[in-house]
Structure 1
Amino acid sequence: MIQRALSYDRTPPLSVPLRFFLSAPIFLFAAAALLLWEGPLALLSRWTPATLALTHLLTLGFLSMAMIGALLQILPVVADIQLPFPQATARFVHALLAAGAILLACAFWHSYPLLFRLALLCLVPAFLWLLTACFIGMRNKPKLKSKAAGTVGAIRLAVIALVITVLLGAALASTFAWPHALPTLLLTDLHVLWGLSGWVGLLVIGVAFQVVPMFQVTALYPVDITRVLAGTLFLLLILWSTEAMLESQWNTVALSGMILSGFIVFAGITLYLLARRKNPKLDASTLFWATAMASLFVCAAVWLTQTASGHKAYALTLGVLFIIGFAGSLINGMLYRIVPFLLWYHAQNETGEGVRQIPNVRQLLPEQTAIRQFRMHLLALLLLIGATLLPEVLARPAALAMCISSGWLFLNLLNAVRMHAAARKSRISTFVSA
């Protein structure tokens, strides 16, 4: 099938997405270190200070860093949507997001109101700038390429979901910063729903429509799926929120099942495309994608078990499966494809013959190195799932495995950047001296 046209001439400077991509595994390592320090206490309940700190290091730090980097890269290339002042936007958003994520994690960990206030002072401007830039760019480019409409439509809905997530998160954080009465439990459930199923889930779906055919060399996703899946899920999220506010428990359970079914459809189609791709060899990126899709199926099985039992005994297990198993695996796999490709692409497009002999993608990040790290990631995931059931036994082994996996990922990416920089410097020097 014909691959959709991409506007590579519109790609932002390398530093724009790269700062986010390199920061993501650092926050994953920080979350693992916190789990190693706290041990079983971090996995006893979703409401403990350590659990809340750990969760926001993973979601606000690890996931959002990688996803914002992907957003800043994909919008101009896929949809020809130019964000205003991309370099200034990247610097400002990255700095405040990093500071805000650290402050918010510390605020939850130590339950200190001043830290919540400082976190809000960082995070609100960061997301306000990012969202304003996105809406300006999208407003200035209302007509989409037909082949990119599915991707950009999903991304637009993900950005709207991010707005809702940020508003709910800011409201919740304000109750810790300046204590006042709000329906905390309801707002928390809505915050989790829109953050994970909306912002994370819809953006992953939109990005997958583009990167799976491109990097995995598969057929394109079915047109009907790219047209309706993201919109249907977004509508279901609105209905779930409405029913939750009306305190209709059985309707929210039914809608939860429908939302999960939508993600299962996405996972099933993705696995089908991967199984029928042109290159049957299982590389690291494909293994990460397969793990992510399998995690969604396991997530569905656990949710059905929890629903049948009538209590939320597996809430942490579901969180691990979605955050680390699904989203975390996808991000790890995409980083192994996107970062080396961007390093190679930017080097190839610099002027001068000297930089055209830059190492290729496989040289920048060898396949066997990535596969070894995948095995550690898989071990960490399995241990984390087990740790939600047997925290006293498996919490610290899981944390140690996640420390090794995230540190390994960071070093692999950093080594690719260093190799690119060294080769570029060497080639430029050779060209100048000649």
Structure 2
Amino acid sequence: MLKTIQNAFKIPDIRKKLAYMFVMLVIIRFGSQLPIPGVDPSFIRDWFEQQSGDAFNFFNAMTGGSFTNMSIFALSITPYITSSIIIQLLTIAIPKLEEMQKDGEDGRKKIQEYTRYLTVALALIQSTAMSLGFGGQGLLINFNQQTGMGKAGMVIVAIATMTAGSALLMWIGERITENGIGNGISIVLLFNIISSVPEDVGMLYTRFMSGKTVPIKTVSALIIIAVIVAVFVFVILLQDAERRIPVQYSKKMQGRKMVGGQSSHIPLKVNTAGVIPVIFASSIMSFPVVIAQFFNPDYSTIGGKILMMLNSSSWFKSAAPVYSIGAILYVALIIIFAYFYTSITFNPLEVANNMKKQGGFIPGIRPGKPTSDYLNNLLNYIVFIGAVGLTVICIIPLIISSVFNVGQLSFGGTSLIIIVSVILETLKAIESQMVVRNYKGFLND
């Protein structure tokens, strides 16, 4: 990895793209410190400290701390991520969108345009809910002392600033994709999550090493590093693991020549759905918890206990093991969404038909429906392994946090998956560009 980065800096064009990407990320961090006009950031900080659960921690990590700072990037790129998922699901339900997606570059540009519009709409809805829901509780300074147009003006400024900030981040992400290296939106998300790591490291130090003797500090540091490295290695293995299905192409006559007969393979990734199942499962589990916080729920009632069960901070507590039922539901949702998302991104019947048209077949399997059934059965087995791997990565940090009373960490299993996957994809993008330039140099010579 380090060698790839070193070689990349030796190529002027790639060095220029990396510099452009770095400048854009600096602009994002600068904007993360600019508060929204008329907003009291201490209100959100105090409110956030009273909350618990992975939903709020992960959301704050995705915003790079901009949410607790109530900066112009408070919503970050979460509206864009949500709109991308919605549009992707709609392409399955709406035939016109599905045709548009298959219609080459023009169709993809049109879908991207719809995604932008939906992003702005979602940002507008979220900023309006926050401004109206928290405005009178202390988010907006002197909100209760204003009347008429003064109060409306404060709300409009807050809504416009948060919506514009989210749209600006979307624009920066697209510019990084166009002028930098890799997927710009993913890199922005990665940078936001990494910016929360120092705070988590400080929390771990305070919990396990502060005030302890040198031997205890050393042992604690070694254990923490070992756990983090082990999880990272597991995530890397899960992201890179794939099952290669051999494919043989039969020979055929073209003119006077016999062509074909070569061997190939179909790579089936173990984690075919990536981090999407975890995001879907976390969103469904956290949605009722987030909405309930606006109404100050009573946790002594049945409804309050159900909310506690959905809250990840209540899981794996020895004092109240019944709330860990929520973890079982969480695992089930991850597995369900892993199968669901894989089913809409990989169609065994379509793959089998394409192989048959090209004269390809899997050794020992007849072309057509038998090939489709074979791929479907194999895919179900692989998806289950990938879903179990995702579950292990997400559950282990929650267990450690509860058993050792670590506190609220934004650096959880979902964050680790995003960090590893984005870094691997970016490195592959750098390597591919280096290969292209080497070929250009060879041709020019």
Larger radius of gyration: 2
Greater strand fraction, Structure 1 or Structure 2: 2
Higher helix content, 1 or 2: 1
